[in-house]
Structure 1
Amino acid sequence: MKLSELTSYLEEIAPLAYQEDYDNSGLIIGDPDAEITSALISLDCTEAVVDEAIEKNCGLIISHHPIVFKGLKKFNGNTYVERVVMKALKHDIALYAIHTNFDHVLDGVNSMICDKLGLKNCTVLSPKTGLLKKLVTFCPLSHAEIVSDALFSAGAGSIGRYSECSFNTEGIGTFKAGSNTDPYVGEKGIRHQESEISIETIYPSSIERKVLQALFQAHPYEEVAYDLYPLSNGFQEVGAGMLGHLDAEMPEADFLQLVKKNLHATVVRHTAVRNKAVRKVAVCGGAGSFLLKQAISAGADVFVTSDYKYHEFFDAEGKIIIADVGHFESEQFTQQLLFDIIRKKFANFALHLTTVNTNPINYLI
């Protein structure tokens, strides 16, 4: 299939608009129209991973972490980033990254951590703002249900665990059709009054084109009247970290042992235990110290994440247990998750999980 077919599907799952400003998710190297027959999935894109792709004749490497975070001015092979890019280009291997946009979706990186820890009723810890819009449109009473169904089918109208949400108001619309028009109702040159329904609904801005296409196709009018409003509401389905609950309370020491075992962590660095039961848990794959205040505000007993610095541990202030499992350890299951997502859609496409351990950190036990 074409490379763009696979990347477009991944961007339906985790739209690029959901990534952080500093990130570089998406197609880093490659021609979207190129034909590919197989792909290699890895957490990181290293020279060893590119060598494995060459050996397995994979035309694409899908990694969680982008190999390029900022602009490269020289390609002399002096850094591992330059060498990876040069080798991928030489062997015509496309590089695709699905990073913080995959962190921020409900069924992404953090959901895997929750699953491994047995957490239930999971929600986004810190919803992102600026991703939602409101559509207000006006249509004749006869087509209100048809238009609403089309908008809902396109993905509009979801609020948390509720779908097909809208607000409808009946009123009178007026218009005068010009000489070169073909009005659905009324006559040319005469002001017309029509009983109409105002339909208000929300949608993620990433699907705006799809929603508007559905509106135009379902609406009977030659000229469709509609308004678009940006919203500052938090998008409950998209954001950083997750919050979940254990089926039953657990002693802190037992929970920390569960974290170590289930996340295959060599060590767990943590703040002092508080001699309290653990029931509510916050998680964040990768570096998550920026979410500590949200974890405390949410009433979490433990915050499972990584990349904590010495002085940052003091910020727990006895209000929560910080459990640092390591960056690789917190995100390692992302590879299998991507494999399963792609396999479900493209059952006959050749997929490989890397056999390379890309964790740059070693432990002396």
Structure 2
Amino acid sequence: MEIAAIIQVLEAFAPPVLQEDYDNAGLITGHQSMECTGVVCTLDCTEAVVDEAIERGFNLIVAHHPIIFKGLKQLNGKNYVERTIIKAIRNDIAIYAIHTNLDHVWDGVNGMFASKLGAVPVEILSVKSGTLSKMYTYVPHDHVEKVQAALFAAGAGEIGNYKECSFSTHGVGTFQPVPGAAPFVGQVGTRHHEPETKLEVIFPAYAANPIIQALKASHPYEEVAYEIIEVQNNHPQIGAGLIAEFSEPIEAEEFIKSVKQIMKVPCIKHTGIPAKKIKRIALCGGAGSFLIHKALRAKVDAYITADLKYHEYFDAEDQLWLMDIGHFESEQYTIDLLFEILHKKFPTFAVLKSVIPTNPVQYYI
């Protein structure tokens, strides 16, 4: 199996178009046509992780964090980034990063975070804009069901907890086939009037190509008329951070102890413990200070994230229980997520979780 097959599965789950502009997700070393000998899933790609892949005879590392964020002008091994890249290239190791695009999908980093804490996701904390499109197309009445089914199968018509959503109106289309045409209905040289259904479906903007292909493959016309527009509505399940709820309120002391135990954190930095019970929480794996005000407006009881600065704790305004559990700690279960995605698709292929500890932060307790 080629590395391209692995990448296809990962990008179907978290399309690269959803990454932030500053990010560098994707294939960093190697090429897609390489025959894959095995996959190591990790949070960070370091020299030690490359050594682990070499020892196991695996040639693909799938990491959450890109080893390269900025352009490299030299490769002489003067820092850990350059040494890691040099070692990977010398040993034909491909490195693939799936970063903020994995943060932005519903079942991604924060979905796994919520699951580990036993909370049920209810909405995205900060919905990403420009993520929805709408297609209009025109289909002979007798072929609507076939075209609808193809569009739905390609991912169109999914809105929140609903799927196969569309809207239809009836009208009459006109066209005149010219010499060289092979019309499904009508005759060359004569204007034809055909009763048609105008079919409308909404879909994630990143899925435009497969949906267009599905339309053309299922439509009976030689020339398929369609229009795609960007809509102002945002996809409700794509964006940064996540709001989740517990089935029953939890005492504050019990909650913070549970977070400490489940997330394997030696200590938690936080604002004052509130008197009320905890039921509605916000989560953002990694550095999430940019979402504090969103969490305040969402009226959550607690916001768990990482990399908060001193003055950002004041932003809680005594209305929000802020917790900083550490960057690695908040994203550690992403390794399990990557393994699950690939193992589900390739149950007999060699996909393993790295055993190399990559957290550079240590605690003296």
Q: Classify the TM-score, shorter chain.
A: over 0.9
Q: Could you tell me how far apart the structure 2 residues matched to 1:360 and 1:121 are?
A: 30
The residue aligned with 2:352 is: 352
1:125 counterpart = 2:125: yes
Q: Equivalent residue of 1:54, what SS? A: helix
Percent identical among aligned pairs is: 48
Q: Write the letter of the residue equivalent to 1:226.
A: Y
The residue aligned with 2:62 is: 62
**C-alpha contact (below 8 Å) 1:114/1:122 kept by paired residues:** no
Deviation at 1:253, TM superposition (A): 1.9
After TM superposition, what 4+ stretches of structure 1 lie above 4 angstroms from structure 2? Answer: none
Q: Could you tell me how far apart the structure 2 residues matched to 1:40 and 1:14 are?
A: 18
- Deviations, residues 42-72 of structure 1 (Å, cap 9, x unaligned): 1101111111111111111111100001110
The residue aligned with 1:333 is: 333
Q: Write the letter of the residue equivalent to 1:270.
A: H
Gaps in structure 2 of 5+ consecutive residues? none
Q: Could you tell me how far apart the structure 1 residues matched to 2:39 and 2:179 are?
A: 57
Q: Write the letter of the residue equivalent to 1:338.
A: L
- Deviations, residues 202-257 of structure 1 (Å, cap 9, x unaligned): 11122211111110111111111110101232111211111111111112222111
- Single out whichever of 162-171 and 229-238 deviates more from structure 2: 229-238
The residue aligned with 2:16 is: 16
1:259 counterpart = 2:289: no
Q: Could you tell me how far apart the structure 2 residues matched to 1:177 and 1:223 are?
A: 10
- Deviations, residues 238-291 of structure 1 (Å, cap 9, x unaligned): 111111111111122221111111111111111112311111010000011111
1:223 counterpart = 2:223: yes
Q: Could you tell me how far apart the structure 1 residues matched to 2:152 and 2:353 are?
A: 37
**C-alpha contact (below 8 Å) 1:283/1:304 kept by paired residues:** yes
The residue aligned with 2:176 is: 176
**C-alpha contact (below 8 Å) 2:121/2:242 kept by paired residues:** no
Deviation at 1:347, TM superposition (A): 1.2
Q: Could you tell me how far apart the structure 2 residues matched to 1:46 and 1:121 are?
A: 32
The residue aligned with 1:98 is: 98
Q: Write the letter of the residue equivalent to 1:286.
A: G
Q: Could you tell me how far apart the structure 2 residues matched to 1:276 and 1:221 are?
A: 63
**C-alpha contact (below 8 Å) 2:158/2:202 kept by paired residues:** yes
Residue pairs, 1:265-284, within 5 angstroms: 265-284=265-284
- Single out whichever of 346-355 and 129-138 deviates more from structure 2: 346-355
Count, aligned residues: 365
Deviation at 1:356, TM superposition (A): 1.1
Q: Could you tell me how far apart the structure 2 residues matched to 1:51 and 1:104 are?
A: 30
**C-alpha contact (below 8 Å) 1:136/1:201 kept by paired residues:** yes
Please report the TM-score for the alignment, with normalisation by the length of structure 2.
Answer: 0.98
**C-alpha contact (below 8 Å) 2:111/2:121 kept by paired residues:** no
The residue aligned with 2:144 is: 144
1:153 counterpart = 2:153: yes
The residue aligned with 1:313 is: 313
Q: Write the letter of the residue equivalent to 2:176.
A: K
Residue pairs, 1:243-258, within 5 angstroms: 243-258=243-258
The residue aligned with 1:25 is: 25
Q: Equivalent residue of 1:199, what SS? A: strand
Q: Could you tell me how far apart the structure 2 residues matched to 1:36 and 1:224 are?
A: 39
Q: Equivalent residue of 2:194, what SS? A: strand
The residue aligned with 1:135 is: 135
Q: Write the letter of the residue equivalent to 2:288.
A: G
